[in-house]
């Protein structure tokens, strides 16, 4: 009986380690004015295995979505997407002008210098989902990430 329990535990550990391992660097959120109801969030993602960012949430907003800026009929438009592919070993930048996160129905003003928890839902190739929680620094309204200047996110 113990052998079966050990085998089951080992299988469970293997399945957990097979989940996408995503590294998040430079997470930040744009500060808001007191009456703002939305804010953008940005970061760099890199997965050790092929994975997909499929969801986002934060306690500071009633709703959070994954968005993309794209040209449509010579006009830059923002739209929600159902996810972003995270190819194994390749950095994916969430930045102004490309893929990014949007927080809607803000519960309060986001002030420069504070941090905001952001929960990312990542799905691996086997469709198993895991959550990655990061603390995103709130940056000034005029902030432009130095590494992202001239980048468009994809």
Residue 96: predicted pLDDT? 85
CA–CA distance, 62 with 91 (Å, rounded to integer) = 29
Q: What is the pTM of this model?
A: 0.80
* Distance set, CA 20 to CA 57, 64, 123, 127, 150 (Å): 19, 22, 7, 10, 29
Q: Tens of pLDDT along 66-85?
A: 999 877 788 878 899 999 99
Per-residue pLDDT of the chain (154 residues; tens, 9 = 90+): 444 434 433 333 333 334 458 999 999 999 999 999 999 999 999 999 999 999 999 999 999 999 998 777 888 788 999 999 999 999 999 998 899 999 999 999 999 999 999 999 999 999 999 999 999 999 998 888 875 444 444 4
């Amino acid at each position: 009986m113990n052998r079966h329990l050990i085998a089951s535990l080992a299988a469970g550990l293997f399945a957990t380690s097979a989940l996408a391992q995503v590294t998040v660097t430079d997470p930040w959120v744009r500060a808001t004015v007191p009456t703002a109801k939305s804010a953008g969030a940005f970061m760099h993602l890199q997965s050790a295995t092929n994975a997909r960012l499929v969801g986002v949430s934060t306690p500071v907003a009633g709703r959070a979505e994954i968005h993309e800026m794209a040209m449509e009929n010579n006009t830059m438009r923002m739209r929600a997407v159902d996810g972003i592919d995270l190819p194994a070993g390749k950095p994916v930048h969430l930045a102004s002008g490309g893929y990014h996160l949007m927080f809607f129905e803000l519960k309060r003003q986001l002030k420069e210098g504070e941090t905001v928890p952001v929960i990312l839902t990542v799905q691996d190739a086997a469709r198993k989902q895991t959550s990655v929680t990061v603390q995103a620094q709130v940056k000034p309204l005029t902030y432009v990430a130095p590494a992202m200047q001239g980048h468009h996110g994809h």
